[in-house]
């Protein structure tokens, strides 16, 4: 039988203290905010002079680095045929990423079809994050021998 210490406070072992779960939560928060912006675009489709908005894309690799500052997890390359870490691969260019969710105008008028496609992509991404969260919790529960 697995027993846990009843710790409280910032050092308690919860999913909120695991870097991967923090990153998934940040992505879900971003997608939630983006869905609100897209819904406003659809709601104002017939408003004269209204310009559709969208959130700037965020590099969630940077978010993951920020939430796992203390606990850096990297794959070990013990063989030259192993894939290198992403920061070891040369890139043609390094885009500057925004750290905040900026709203930027995207055009003169709302195109409902475009907004529906964006909302659908957003929902698919949100469902993916939900599934990842659930699968990782399930994996942890299995490793602990809980909930078989």
Whole-number pLDDT of residue 71: 56
Predicted pLDDT of residue 74:
61
DSSP string computed for the chain: --------STTS--GGGSHHHHHHHHHHHHHHHHHHHHHHHHHTTTSTT---EEEPP--HHHHHHHHTSSS-------STTSPPPGGGS--S------SS--EEE--SS--HHHHHHHHHHHHHHHHHHHHHHHHHHHHHHHHHT---
- Which of 52 and 6 is assigned the larger pLDDT? 52
Tell which residue, 33, 31, 34, has the closest CA to residue 23.
31
For the chain, percent of residues with pLDDT exceeding 70: 61
For residue 5, pLDDT beyond 70: no
Higher pLDDT, 136 or 6: 136
What average pLDDT is seen over the chain? Answer: 75
Band of pLDDT at residue 120, cut at 50, 70 and 90: very high
CA atoms within 13 A on the CB side of 84: 7
pLDDT digits (tens, 9 = 90+) for 67-110: 666 555 566 677 877 777 666 655 544 454 444 445 555 545 78
What is the residue-wise DSSP string for 21-57?
A: HHHHHHHHHHHHHHHHHHHHHHHTTTSTT---EEEPP
On whether the CB atoms of residues 103 and 55 are closer than 8 A, the answer is: yes
pLDDT level of residue 2 (50, 70, 90 thresholds): very low
In the chain, domain spans: 15-144
């Amino acid at each position: 039988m697995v027993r846990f210490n009843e710790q409280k406070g910032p050092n308690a072992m919860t999913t909120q203290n695991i870097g991967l779960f923090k990153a998934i939560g940040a992505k879900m928060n971003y997608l939630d905010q983006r869905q609100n912006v897209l819904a406003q675009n659809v709601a104002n489709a017939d408003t004269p002079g209204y310009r559709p908005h969208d959130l700037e894309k965020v590099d969630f690799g940077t978010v993951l680095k920020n939430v796992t500052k203390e606990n850096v997890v990297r794959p070990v390359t013990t063989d030259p045929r192993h894939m290198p870490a992403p920061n070891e691969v040369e890139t043609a260019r390094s885009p500057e990423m925004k750290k905040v969710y900026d709203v930027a105008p995207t055009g003169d008028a709302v195109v409902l079809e475009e907004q529906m496609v964006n909302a659908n992509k957003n929902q698919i991404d949100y469902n993916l994050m939900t599934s990842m969260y659930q699968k990782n919790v399930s994996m942890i529960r299995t490793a602990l021998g809980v909930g078989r």
